[in-house]
Structure 1
Amino acid sequence: MIMKNILLPTDFSKNSRNAISYAMELFKNELCTFYVLNVQKATGYTTDDLIVSPANRSIHQTVTSQSKEKLKMVIEALEKETIGENYSFHPLTDYDVFTDAIKQTVTSKNIDLIVMGTNGATGAKEVIFGSNTVNVIRYVECPILVIPQEYVFATPKKILYTLDDNDHFSTEGIIPLTDLLIKFKASLKILKIKEDDTITVSEFDDKKQMNHFFKDVNHTFHMITNVPITLAIDSFVQIMGVDLNALYVHKETFLDRFFQRSDTSKLSYGTRVPLLILRK
């Protein structure tokens, strides 16, 4: 059995705890090392604050001490909840820019996957991705599984693999998706979102390659044309009863079309199911 190294960022919110609970269910019966990371924002304090406090103890020491105590409580609870599983937990505290802390941990701990919450508020029709989540998706080169706020774990029996008009099939970085397909014996729905219904030679070749690559998986092909990408995905997920959506995100192409800037200056996407970001 191959061990997986999973990073679980937490700000001790209900949202991040829910994402951690999802991870505990998703990786059942697997050998996993979970790194539970809390990052304190260094820019939230002045230089003088960091140097001294009334008790001759720096704010840095005080804040990290509080973080470590909370992490200890979180891990104790997780260990009790997952008795019998091949899980090990390690607390990590950092005092840095959030994405920098994530990048450093991914490298130093050889992380296979990051599992995190949407880090934002749930609206009537959409989940707003907070800046931390969006920045991790933008700048951290590691597969990421984003769990919508208050989403209750459901065995992923129907998985969606979404390709943008500019995407071409590649097996590079696809292991997180194939692992889920194999573990849960899930069916795969491959969705191509295009501006028109013209079929190119490269798309024909892509379909041929995917047919071969996913030959042992129950898979079907679908295409939606001339519909905004977020609306296309949201509609497909509802109609087809999808449990998880997987896609590659590319800077300045799919990413900017996938996340749309809202009036609140936050990036939003109406995801109803967990979102698996793959990396090439």
Structure 2
Amino acid sequence: MKKILLLTDFSKNSINAMNYGLQLFQNEYCDFFVLNVQSSLSYATDDLMASRPRESLYEVLIAENKQRLTSIVEGLKLNANERLHRFKSIVDYDLFIDAIKQTIKKENIDFVVMGTNGASNLREAIMGSNALKVLRFINCNTLVIPEGYQYKKPKRFLLALDVDDYADHKTVFDITELIQKLDANINVVRIVSTNENVQSKIQLDKDLLLELIHENKFTYRTVSNIPLSHILVDEELAQDAHIITLVGQFKGLFNRLFSDASKTNISKNMILPLMIFHH
């Protein structure tokens, strides 16, 4: 049973991302926790004035969001597998990252699913900022869906390994398990530096892949001296993949992927869903 956290700010983009997650895990037993966070810093004087004497501030601030979230969950159920999928809606009045961390811990979440987009208006700017916060501060496997990206059953994954990444057994097992359930293939791209002896690293990668997946189900190649972030926005590097997959230690991965120079470009130009596995 997978436990998946779906994040929503009620935008079309977040709803699209949630529906993508439902379809990706269409044939797996899943508990979906649909979370909307009402920031504890965002209430206004009008909210206080509108409250009745016996209502708490908390109740006033989340009442409308509870109604909206209930409506969204009912819509999600139309695209869900009734036999395999269950839903729980959560409205939390808290700081955004704190609310996510608490839910992950309480519900033993396996995956976080959310959308990201270019900042063309204030709401989208906030959502884009929140997506980066999740990738920076949340140590949980995460699936990020670009703005407007419509679900198509993934037939090919791209696993990008940076110069210092190592593919541990559990993480690669989790990736190949999903690939096999989808009857998909995987292209592995290992980034190398020109001044290193890469043969032993390549052999370790291939040995692990062959242990977990048939040799006809993956390809392997190396590329030299490019930033990891380029793979997210370069159609030629992505080849014909439907999902880009990254692995790595939590904090180190974010620092390499979202440097100040690259994070704006990534948030506006990410071309494929991004699935990040932490180890």
TM over 0.5, shorter chain: yes
Q: Distance in 1 between matches of 2:42 and 2:127?
A: 21
Q: State the Cα distance separating 1:12 from its structure 2 match.
A: 0.4
Deviations 1:127-159 (A, max 9, x none): 998221111112212100001110000111110
RMSD: 2.9
Deviations 1:51-85 (A, max 9, x none): 66463344432221111111111112222333644
Q: Which residue of 1 aligns with 2:66?
A: 68
Q: Distance in 1 between matches of 2:236 and 2:177?
A: 21
Asked whether 1:36 is paired with 2:37, we answer no
Q: Which residue of 1 aligns with 2:272?
A: 273
Q: Which residue of 2 aligns with 1:248?
A: 247
- Structure with greater helix percent: 2
Q: Distance in 2 between matches of 1:186 and 1:54?
A: 53
> How is 1:187-206 mapped onto 2 (pairs within 5 angstroms)?
187-196=185-194, 198-200=196-198, 202-206=200-204
Relative to 1, partners in 2 of residues 1:158 and 1:128: Cα closer, same or farther, differing over 3 Å?
Answer: farther
> How is 1:32-181 mapped onto 2 (pairs within 5 angstroms)?
32-45=30-43, 53=50, 55-56=52-53, 57-82=55-80, 84-118=82-116, 120-121=118-119, 130-181=128-179
Unmatched tracts of structure 2, length 5 or more: none
Q: State the Cα distance separating 1:115 from its structure 2 match.
A: 0.9
Unmatched tracts of structure 1, length 5 or more: none
Relative to 1, partners in 2 of residues 1:93 and 1:224: Cα closer, same or farther, differing over 3 Å?
Answer: same
Q: Which residue of 2 aligns with 1:216?
A: 214
Q: State the Cα distance separating 1:211 from its structure 2 match.
A: 3.8
Relative to 1, partners in 2 of residues 1:120 and 1:65: Cα closer, same or farther, differing over 3 Å?
Answer: farther
Q: Is the 8 A contact 1:131 1:266 kept in 2?
A: no
Q: Is the 8 A contact 2:159 2:245 kept in 1?
A: yes
Q: Distance in 2 between matches of 1:41 and 1:216?
A: 47
In the superposition, the TM-score normalised over structure 1's length comes to 0.85
Q: Distance in 2 between matches of 1:128 and 1:172?
A: 34
Deviations 1:164-214 (A, max 9, x none): 101112123345422321111111111111232643364144234334334
The secondary structure found in structure 1 opposite 2:169 is coil
Relative to 1, partners in 2 of residues 1:34 and 1:75: Cα closer, same or farther, differing over 3 Å?
Answer: same
Deviations 1:82-102 (A, max 9, x none): 364421111101111111111
Relative to 1, partners in 2 of residues 1:36 and 1:226: Cα closer, same or farther, differing over 3 Å?
Answer: same
Q: Is the 8 A contact 2:143 2:273 kept in 1?
A: yes
Q: Is the 8 A contact 2:172 2:209 kept in 1?
A: no
Q: Is the 8 A contact 1:52 1:59 kept in 2?
A: no
Identity in percent:
32
Q: Distance in 2 between matches of 1:12 and 1:205?
A: 46
Q: How many residues align?
A: 273
